Amino acid sequence: MGHARDSRFAARDTNDLLRLLATQPLAWLVSAGGEDACFSPLPLRAQLDASGELVGLMGHLARRNPHVARLARDPQATALVLGPQAYVSPSWLDDRTQAPTWNYAAAVFQLEVTLSEAPQDIADELDALVTQMEAARARAWALEEMGERYARLALGVTALRGRIVARHSTFKLGQDEARHDFAQILAGLSAGGQDTLVAWMRDFAAREHGDTP
């Protein structure tokens, strides 16, 4: 993917990928090639091993989704995750000879997918997703509040686990900008309401320089 060969834009550690997945759980699951190619947007959760390493992505699909049959035939898939992103305008800079660019955080995961229609696997996945998404909400909702409606819902769901076989990420967050330009870009993005992207950029800059421009 773009800038993947430039170490300046690499994830610093697993925590960057975990943060990306936690803040942008809705991803594209892609099974390309052939007449039954499938492309499904779905929320994905990180799966960690005992050492805290990211080893898989967890999620679920509707059983009626043709993607389920495709994955049963061919378990290889790609997950595409796009985090905060925005256009960077030279109009914000003193040096108007600069070219426009785009700042973003993104990751690609090559997966080997295992499907399950076991009731406990489905219950575990749905409960984990709801718990993640409802965390810190006022009057947080819990899956058991569905009562008897849950059983009907679960019948239409297939749980999945994608073992990560390869991953690539790009965190293009102004690491190549001069500090004066970087500060002006932050100001322009902030004025446009791009608070999430600004937070990512400040965090990367703080770790790289030991302070925040």
Q: Could you tell me what percent of the chain has a pLDDT over 90?
A: 92
Burial class (CB in 10 A: 0-12, 13-18, 19+), 18: middle
Radius of gyration of the chain (CA): 20
Q: How many domains in the chain?
A: 1
The number of angstroms, rounded, from the C-alpha of 81 to the middle of its chain's C-alpha atoms is 4
- Tell me whether residue 108 is in a domain: yes
CATH of the domain at 47: 2.30.110.10
Paired tokens of 156 = 């239409």
- Tell me whether residue 187 is in a domain: no
- Tell me whether residue 1 is in a domain: no
Whether pLDDT at 1 is above 60: no
For residue 43, give its domain range.
Answer: 7-178
Write down the pLDDT at residue 103: 98
Read off the pLDDT of residues 40-53 as tens digits, 9 standing for 90 and up.
Answer: 999 999 999 999 99
Read off the pLDDT of residues 10-33 as tens digits, 9 standing for 90 and up.
Answer: 999 999 999 999 999 999 999 999
- Cα–Cα distance for residue pair 19/103, rounded to 1 Å: 17
- Tell me whether residue 45 is in a domain: yes
- Tell me whether residue 190 is in a domain: no
